Amino acid sequence: MAMINPAQFVREVIGEVKKVTWPTKKETTVTTIMVLIMVVLAAIFFFVVDWVLSNGVQLILGFGG
């Protein structure tokens, strides 16, 4: 395995970081809000699916009250 000079490594890392397109504050905020909305929707969906399946199993097997 080839050894890399630490100084060369740092220069290469800095060069790669300069290529990154960093999001603006607005883009970050909008994306964060979209993720939070999707998390809430997914939680609601899975809650409803769990509730329906739970009630269905209870109805079929005659468990619960």
Assess contact for 29 and 35: CB atoms under 8 A: no
Looking at residue 3, its pLDDT comes to 78
Q: pTM of the prediction?
A: 0.66
Q: What is the largest CA-CA distance in the chain?
A: 71
Compute φ and ψ for 49, nearest 5 degrees: -60, -45
Q: Which residue has the higher pLDDT, 63 or 62?
A: 62
Task: Decide if pLDDT at 65 tops 60.
Answer: no
The SS3 call for residue 43 is helix
What pLDDT, in 10s, does the model give residues 14-54? 999 999 999 999 999 999 999 999 999 999 999 999 999 99
Looking at residue 64, its pLDDT comes to 62
Amino acid at 64: G
Looking at residue 62, its pLDDT comes to 86
Question: Cα–Cα distance between 2 and 65 in angstroms, integer?
Answer: 69
